[in-house]
Amino acid sequence: MSDANGGAGDPEATGTEPGESAEAPSPEEPQLYSDAPIGLAPPPGLPPSPGIRAPEITLPPGYSLEGSPGVTPPPAPDTGFDSPAPNGFASAFETPSVQAQATQHEQIEAQTQQHEQAQQQASAQADAQQQVQAQQQAHAQQAQQQFHQQWASAPANAATASASPTSPGSPARRTGLSRGAIIGIVAGSAAVLVVLIVLLSAVASIAGNRPGAEPAAAGDGSADTPEAAVESFLTALADGDAETAARLAAAESNEPLLTDEVLARSLELAPITGIAVESGEHDDSMRAVVNATFRIGDRTVHRDFTAWQASGDWELSDALVALPLPGLDGLEPTVNGAPAGIDRPLVFPGAYEIGLGGHAFELAVDDAPLDVLSVATSEDTTPLYSAEPRLTEARADEFRALVRASLEECLAMPQLSTPCGLDVSETLDDGAVPVEGSAQRALTAEGDRALDALTPEPDYGDLRRVTTYDYVSVSTHIEADRGGELISGTLYSSGDLLQPYVDFSGDDPRVTWE
């Protein structure tokens, strides 16, 4: 059957030839339309911007926003907006653009006028401020000039006030400052001057006590700064002024060696020169450590001094050095010729000779005489702890001669028992009995050499005496009675020789055998 509108079997209806396959028609491209839907009004568009509000400017009283002369308003800004021509949009979806564009253009012109007015107001305000500042400066200059004129004319006005009365009806003449005002100004100036002096004194005091401050001029015993105390102390030593040096060192008045005589001998042995004092390190306002460099003879010394502030002045707490002289009782030690008096006397930095027992003894360290001790710090006294008293070389030779003479006298005795020892027993090992008065003693060659090289040693029980521990060889020849038979011979052992002791504390030393 066929469809009245053209069925599928009608070739003409499909547009295909018989025998060809039928294909679906390709869709057509959609068409865009700008017509608004039926019943929907076109959109009104965005409302125009209200623009930037003009700033509110409040002027000082008496000023108005009149145009400043010579100021030209800036040209209107180029908005770059051109009104579109009528029917300029090809879209069918038209809006009331012409009316909106006209309104927007009017608003832009209004904003431009407001911007111009704001600039005019700002310019007027700036001019007003400049005028106010100029008036204030003029008033200030005028007031200053009037003040100087009144101050200059004040004495004259005060002197002529009674002689020039004001005539009736004339305006009151302007006079200078009153006497009370002048007194107030003078008193105020004096008070300010006093305050400035106090402040300057305080600043100077702080600057003098701070680390790195330059020391005050020394040499006159001043001690207003730690550095000045150190320099004054060393300068006093170099000048031989023991009193000033002892005061700066806070020494007791009864110290036996802090005298001009002892210091003078020290300077003869090794003068103090090359004094240089550095700025000190302040731990606080009461204590400081100051480094100084100086020379004791040929020796260069670098050492620190600790300074303390006492009663306004600075004193040195470690400037003196104690000489340890223990174990020298009876030898009457002297320092630079003065009696030491105590076991640990204090001395100034310097050079010292320590004598013992007049001229018989001397101190020796490792068998070398301690001639002069250079002292700058307590470390320099270390040799004294190992020093021992010994005879001087001259007295050592005297000791050997005295011992030899005493021993030779003893060896010449024929008795079996002598003051120097070498005793012979009453009965020999073989029963023979030595004959009293038959002993013949003599030094051996070895004993003779030993006697010439005796080493004197101190008697630690009494340092005034000297002994020796060297062995001296002696031979002994005797006669003996053995069962009625008289025999003679040399003993294998001559007995023990006693120790010789010599007391050098007196003027006539003698040998005793113990």
- Where do the domains of the chain lie, and which CATH numbers do they carry? 226-391 (3.10.450.50), 393-513 (no CATH)
Residues 6+ apart with CB under 8 A from 330: 357, 462, 463, 464, 505
DSSP label of 381: G
Q: Give me the pLDDT at residue 159, please.
A: 39
Residue type, 181: A
pLDDT per residue over 428-486, tens digit each?
Answer: 888 899 999 999 999 999 999 999 999 999 898 888 899 999 999 999 999 999 989 99
What is the pLDDT averaged over residues 355-383? 90
Q: The tokens of 210 are what?
A: 């701070």
As a whole number of angstroms, the distance between CA 470 and CA 450 comes to 7
If you search the block for the tokens 């055998």, which residue do you land on?
Answer: 513
Tokens representing residue 250 in the block:
């806070």
The better pLDDT of the pair 83, 287 is held by 287
500-503 β-sheet, strand order:
457-458, 465-467, 500-503, 511-513
Helix (H, G, I), strand (E, B) or coil at 252: coil
Comparing 10 with 487, which gets the higher pLDDT?
487
Q: Name the residue type at position 452.
A: D
Instruction: Name the pTM for this structure.
Output: 0.53
- State pLDDT tens for residues 3-36: 434 444 444 444 444 444 444 555 555 555 555 5
Backbone angles phi, psi at 192, to 5 degrees: -65, -40
Give the separation between CA 419 and CA 409, rounded to whole angstroms: 10
- Going by DSSP bridges, is the β-strand pair 361-365/388-391 parallel, antiparallel, or unpaired? antiparallel
Which pLDDT does position 63 carry in this prediction? 52
Q: What tokens appear for 163 in the block?
A: 């002689």
What would the two tokens of residue 328 be? Answer: 């020298």
Residues 26 and 258: their CA atoms lie apart, in Å, by: 133
Q: Choose among 194, 214, 191, 217: nearest CA to 204.
A: 214
455 contacts: CB under 8 Å, gap ≥ 6: 468, 469, 470
Q: Encoding tokens for residue 448?
A: 């003779």
Instruction: Report the alpha-carbon angle 457-353-364, nearest 5.
Output: 25
Q: Which two tokens stand for residue 481?
A: 């009675």
Q: What is the pLDDT of residues 74-129, one digit of tens each?
A: 555 554 444 444 444 444 344 444 444 445 556 656 666 665 665 666 566 556 56
Q: Helix axis angle, 445-452 relative to 393-411, nearest 10°?
A: 150
What is the Cα–Cα distance from 111 to 479, expressed in whole angstroms?
A: 159
pLDDT at 331: 86
Q: Are 110 and 83 in contact (CB under 8 A)?
A: no
What pLDDT score does 169 carry? 41
With beta carbons less than 8 A apart as the criterion, state whether 302 and 291 touch. Answer: yes
**Mean pLDDT of all residues in 413-426:** 92
Residue with tokens 């004319």: 153
Over residues 214-222, mean pLDDT: 49
Element (H, E) at 222: none
